[in-house]
Amino acid sequence: MTATAEVSLPAPSMVTRITAILETFDSSLRCRSLQDIASLTGLPRSTAYRILEQLVQAGWVQHNVSGYRLGWRANGLPSRANEESRLREAAAPYLYDLAVRTQLTVHLAVLDGPFARYLDKIGGEASHVPSRVGGMLPAHLTAVGQAMLAHVDPESLDIVLRRLRLSVDPAVVHRDLAAVRMKGGLATTRNSPLAAVSCIGAPIFDREHSITGGLSLCDGGSGAPLDRYVPLLLERARRISAQLGLPHPRKGSMQ
């Protein structure tokens, strides 16, 4: 896919940074070190520490000798049972399995308008892949984003593409997504405008047969062939869909 202008991403506001930090805790029992949180969010250690200390004081996070974990205020929110929490919990064992088996960077993402928003990122040469937990990238330029967009109805897709501050040819996007559907939902990207990496992506569906997320593997720029991992990625995506309810897909709409 080609782009005719620079990618313009949302500014990393304080809300975005706080969200990125909180989303590194994929369960109420997850404990993270300061270095873990800085690496997962892409924030400098000093910035992560400053925000974490404020979150500790407000009760959103607690800190002990083992590290940081969600605090009483966060654990009391009903949003812990929302769809993204369920998706992360269902996907967690499969993400780690993929990371161990492939030694590649593994992503779990959802659609957020025209962007792929990353819920998790583990393994591989993650520093070479321009994604971070809580961050967003233009979905049509990523494998995980294309895997999800391929199951969005064309009218909704055209509407959200117009929201991108990027020159996009809708005909090219629709052509690429048609190729994804022809390959059974598998999306592939190589040396996109975002980074010189190769990635493969697969869709995840919920109990309503709607697209709810995506899973991807990225080589981190090593040039390693990814074809041999395609069956493994698609199977793990199907298993996550099964955990969420019904694994059989149908077209959905943008979040």
Per residue in 22-78, pLDDT (tens digit) is 888 876 667 888 998 998 888 999 999 999 999 988 888 988 767 888 887 776 665
- The whole-number pLDDT of residue 49 equals 92
What gap in Å lies between CA 116 and CA 137, rounded to an integer?
5
pLDDT at 3 over 50: no
Q: Identify the structural domains of the chain with CATH numbers, from first to last.
A: 14-79 (1.10.10.10), 82-244 (3.30.450.40)
Contact residues for 195 (Cβ-Cβ < 8 A; gap 6+):
128, 129, 130, 221
What gap in Å lies between CA 128 and CA 115, rounded to an integer?
20
pLDDT tens digits for range 106-129: 999 998 878 898 999 988 765 567
pLDDT tens digits for range 215-236: 999 887 666 778 999 999 999 9
What gap in Å lies between CA 96 and CA 122, rounded to an integer?
8
Assessment of whether the complete model's pTM goes beyond 0.85: no
How would residue 4 be classed by pLDDT, with cut points 50, 70 and 90? very low
Q: Which of 120, 117, 132 is nearest to 95 (CA)?
A: 120
DSSP state letters, 154-192: HHHHHHHHTTSSS---HHHHHHHHHHHHHTTT-EEEEEE
pLDDT at 203 over 90: yes
Q: Quote the mean pLDDT of the chain.
A: 81
How far, CA to CA in Å, does 177 sit from each of 154, 171, 181?
10, 10, 6
